[in-house]
Chains A and B, each alone.
Chain A
């Protein structure tokens, strides 16, 4: 009977410590500025981490990261993903008027863009990630994607190099 009482006492002490310690741990995380991402709130933490990620726009108004989920391939319809951030790599409040313009500087031409459809990705509000469907490179080689957008009210263009393969 004494043993059972001792076990109950130990469990009770452990439970009380857990209740006291957990909130204090959470508050220490908040104090360090590492709030968990809450998409329903206005100003979230960094999305693009590190200076090496993404390409800075020409006037320094935004950073954009370009991904090719199925590879950058020529002579077939493919899709691209764009993730926008502010110059200091925070999530922007607004991203509008996106233009996705592939150019081949060495050949002096671009490609057809009539089939492109640009749409917001996920349930993030405001939208800062986008998918570009219907991208078509007419040939392989070195291309440059000129991504123009109005980010937080400022229009700018980022030139992103890409090596397109067959």
Chain B
């Protein structure tokens, strides 16, 4: 019995240590801070209920090769939808995947821009608040 307790205790110590190292790493994988060298694209909007919302692509300009975005909300709120949409064409793209990393930052994965042009990411927060980010997707060699 004592041996089992020792094993469990050791396992919990190892797991706790692992989490302590992993947590800062996870947090750093989600950021909406604009870099100083201009290598990313940041769009800021205010939601319908007044929340500050920021969308960042780790690329400038945004091209079809971009597959990931970061979405920050202040005050923090759960993002329930991030839908790609082309308002001028009346269509969107395949669904994105939302990965909440912190209370205020969510990774938007599986972003697929199927053509160049004016796009939006239409977002919905838990509770129904909404924000729409406009931006342009350009060819990779521009």
Contact = CB atoms under 8 A, between A and B. Distances in A.
Interface of A: 75, 107-112, 114-115, 136, 138-139
Contact of B115 (A108, A115, A136): A108
B48 interface: no
Interface string B84-120: 0000011111100000000000000010101100000
Contact of B94 (A107, A108, A111): A111
Nearest to B94: A112
A108 B93 CA distance: 14
Given A109-B115, A111-B114, A112-B112, A138 B90 contact: no
Interface residues of B, number: 10
5 contacts: A109-B89, A111-B94, A114-B110, A115-B110, A139-B91
A105 to B, nearest CB: 13
A138 B110 contact: no
Residue in B90, B94, B112, B115 with the greatest tally of chain A CB atoms within 10 Å: B94
Given A112-B114, A136-B94, A138-B92, 10 more contacts: A108-B115, A109-B91, A110-B114, A111-B93, A111-B114, A112-B94, A114-B94, A114-B112, A138-B94, A139-B92
Contacts of A107: 89, 91
B94 A109 contact: no
A114 B90 CA distance: 22
A58 B89 CA distance: 30
A108 B91 CA distance: 12
A136 B92 CA distance: 11
Nearest to A138: B91
A110 B90 CA distance: 14
Contacts of B93: 111-112, 138
A101 to B, nearest CB: 12
A75 to B, nearest CB: 8
Nearest to B110: A114
A136 to B, nearest CB: 4
B94 A115 contact: yes
A96 B59 CA distance: 36
Nearest to A76: B95
A139 B89 CA distance: 10
